[in-house]
Structure 1
Amino acid sequence: MRILVVEDEQKAGDYLRKGLTESGFVVDWAQTGPDGLHMAQSESYDLIVLDVMLPKMNGWQIVQELRKNQETPVLFLTARDEVEDRVRGLELGADDYLVKPFAFAELVVRIRTLLRRGPIREAERLDVADMQIDVLKRRVTRSGHRIDLTAKEFALLHLLAKRKGEVLSRSLIASQVWDMNFDSDTNVVDVAVRRLRAKIDDPYASKLIHTIRGMGYVLEERQ
């Protein structure tokens, strides 16, 4: 299996190339964004390990370009550990996201899992009733009207829409959107849902977010 590593730090790049080679992979290494994109587009790789903060062209831009015409699995390996960064990376088309510092054994397991699974693309657009969610542009409209959401509100709506018709518990929502364990004494999920409803439901006759008492929330169209 042939892997492209795009990493600008010399020490990290040497470590990744040496470790992955010893794990049985053929490894190429690019140290700038443009070089990484050129190699990814001109050569055939089974997987790309991609940093975010790169010289001249960042990882976000690289994966956006790649997803225009290829499905090669991409694993972001970066020190950017905010939930918003992980959500953004996956929404732009990455298949996995691992934060530095990391255990090398975990990186190898994730790579092998992706190689077995093959590329899986999330939908670039989600439709629920008269609401459209443009995942790449992070834009939401309902009945043709633009709805401005914060990063957290968008992440919450995206999660609900991806799992349309499925009841999501507060614990699951808290872990996925805030990367936190849900505390029953904390109403952060309920407050966030209330704010989201005020934007996407309150102005419209048909409501899309529904409370399932004692269980959680579901996004679906109801007659």
Structure 2
Amino acid sequence: MSARKRRPVLVIGLGRFGGAVAETLERMGHEVLGADCDSQLVSEFAGTLTTTVEADCTDTKVLEQLGVADFEAAVVAIGTDIEASVLAVLALSDLGMTNIWAKATNDKHARILERTGAAHVVFPEQRMGERVAHLLNERLLDFISFDGEFAIARLKAPEPVVGVPLVTSGCRKKFDVTVVGVKRAGENFIHAVPDTIIFPDDELVVSGRISDIERFSAI
């Protein structure tokens, strides 16, 4: 099913996080209704999103008027006003919305959001902080963690694996990481197979435990 055939997405809060989510969804082909109490933010996104509205989305009557029942999902991207973010999630839940994504600022905030109806809680600042910390060593070119223990990372091919097929270097057996893909200058990423030979300056996409990936990048 194409994105245009899906029901639209409601994004509540058009700050940096909410605005980025809304614009990305729009580029992906979704219809997006962006809502915020700040008229200036609403005006800024008026030409970018399918629809924008200045509204208090902590009020169930307002959400009913916006037609919440017609939305595929809702993203509550309110960050600084914890009370407003919780009330917005609660109002959406009361109206039968189940696919609610909400931004949390701390663990306590997250627990309250989950108990009031948020199906998915995200910590964008925490995630970015972790990512920057891992990238600071300059050996990792990109980094995404999962569940705090596993990750997928992009890095320059370590010297011990250069010039031989992956089956020979034994990345999984020796270093406990799996090489998923390989990127060479001027070429697209390719899926890695046992016979893939690693060249100097290749970039590797690897998966594994964070500690193993960091050790692999440092050899």
Instruction: With the length of structure 1 as denominator, give the TM-score of the two structures.
Output: 0.38
Instruction: With the length of structure 2 as denominator, give the TM-score of the two structures.
Output: 0.39
